[in-house]
Amino acid sequence: MTVLGIDTSCDDTSAACLKDKKILANVVLSQVLHSKYGGVIPELAARDHIKNIVDIVEQAIAGIGLHNIDGIGVTYGPGLIGSLLVGLSFAKSLSYALKIPFYGVNHLEAHIFSLFIDQEIKIPFIALIVSGGHTELILVKEKGKYELIGTTLDDAAGEAFDKVARMLGYSYPGGPIIQELAASGNPEAINFPRAEVPGYDFSFSGLKTAVLYHLKSQKSKVKSQHPDIAASFQEAVCDSLIDKVLKASKEFEISRIGVAGGVAANSRLREKLNHTEVEAYFPRPEFCTDNAAMVALCANFYLDKNKSSPYTLKADSRANLKIEIRN
């Protein structure tokens, strides 16, 4: 089966082509227009998707041909509503014109499926999805069956990276910049707080405020201090995430942990988690950040079961994973 995947959930226009679950193409266009604003501007993102989607899809199917595609997978939510609408409308039109099924993929489930690209991970496992919009701890009972264990009470982990980078005067996205600065900094230079949240939930707003107060107390924003601030902040985020991962691993007696989403690309998080007792799995960095290959793989799973979505499927900015919430 050949599946075309499309993701326009946020600020990346992406299309991918899979043949028998092997990636033939994965094209990602990251919109640079947001960098000067310190975050994604939804209206600009949607307009840019409209401008680029035809070209990106054409690149993904070059050499394959539209007539050889058996099905389409597209993100219908969660994400920015205007951005989602572009990909979803495009996918529906193409599906109608080619008379092939399409499947509306949940973006979080697609991140879980990124863990199945080029690697085996035995189910059940615990998934930590850490991106610009999400920080979720999910028990993966089987493909398609999930239980939410914990989530963030305020900022997402990636959002905290983006906001701290912005405080320091750097552009969006902040995660890779903080990682680079941190490489030459001392993670123990500043003792930023690790939020004590009950259960498996997370909180990063206190940490973000602590960085802000630290910067204010310094009076001057001396560039030479940035590596230490970045390293100490990054360390606090990693410690908070790993603390809950280890706790969940113990309680559920599951040692396999799959980390996905943009923050899963963070080298310090990978290094620290690899030094714990859990068996940690990460996608390759290009499959951590948003990409259509993971969407196509997820859709492939459902299309194989003859499941497809109706043309009445609506984009849903707050779509959830139909997960059971633990009491």
User: Does residue 11 touch Zn ion according to CB under 5 A?
Assistant: no
Tell me if 17 sits within 8 A of 24, measured CB to CB: yes
* Position 109 contacts Zn ion (CB under 5 A): no
Per CB under 5 A, contacts with Zn ion among 236-265 are none
By the rule CB under 6 A, 263 interacts with ligand KG4? yes
Q: Determine contact, residues 257/138, Cβ cutoff 8 Å.
A: no
**Rounded CA gap, 291 and 87, in Å?**
13
173 binds, among Zn ion, ligand KG4, none (CB under 5 to 8 A by kind): ligand KG4
Both tokens of residue 255? 């040692």
| 7 lines the binding site for Zn ion (CB under 5 A) | no
Hey, which residues between 97 and 156 contact ligand KG4 (CB under 6 A)? 131-133
Least separation in angstroms between CB 239 and ligand KG4: 14
Residue type, 80: L
In angstroms, give the least distance from the CB of 173 to ligand KG4: 4
The yes or no reply on residue 95 touching ligand KG4 (CB under 6 A) is no
- 10 touches ligand KG4 (CB under 6 A): yes
158 binding ligand KG4? (CB under 6 A): yes
Farthest-apart Cα atoms in the chain, separation: 63
Residues 289-308 that bind Zn ion (CB under 5 A): 290
The entry of Zn ion, ligand KG4, none near residue 235 (CB within 5 to 8 angstroms by kind) is: none
Of these, 73, 175, 185, 283, which contacts ligand KG4 (CB under 6 A)?
A: 175
Phi, psi of 156 (to 5 degrees): -80, 160
Cβ closer to ligand KG4: 88 or 100?
A: 88
Cα 26 to Cα 152: distance, rounded to the nearest angstrom: 30
Q: Residue for token digits 């999910």?
A: 138
Question: Counting beta carbons within 10 angstroms of the beta carbon of residue 156, is it exposed (0 to 12), middle (13 to 18) or buried (19 or more)?
Answer: buried
Q: Supply 111's token pair.
A: 């991140």
Helix (H) or strand (E) holding 92: helix 81-98
Please, which residue, 131 or 203, has the CB nearer to Zn ion? 131
Decide: helix, strand or coil at residue 225. Answer: helix
Binding test (CB under 6 A) with ligand KG4, winner from 83, 179, 232, 300: 179
Pairing state of beta strands 2-7 and 71-77? parallel
CA dihedral 139, 198, 280, 208 (to 10 degrees): 120
Per partner kind, with CB cut-offs from 5 to 8 A, the member of ligand KG4, Zn ion, none near residue 176 is ligand KG4
- Interface residue list for Zn ion (CB under 5 A): 131, 290
- Interface residue list for ligand KG4 (CB under 6 A): 10, 131-133, 158-159, 161-162, 173-176, 179, 261-263, 265-266, 289-290
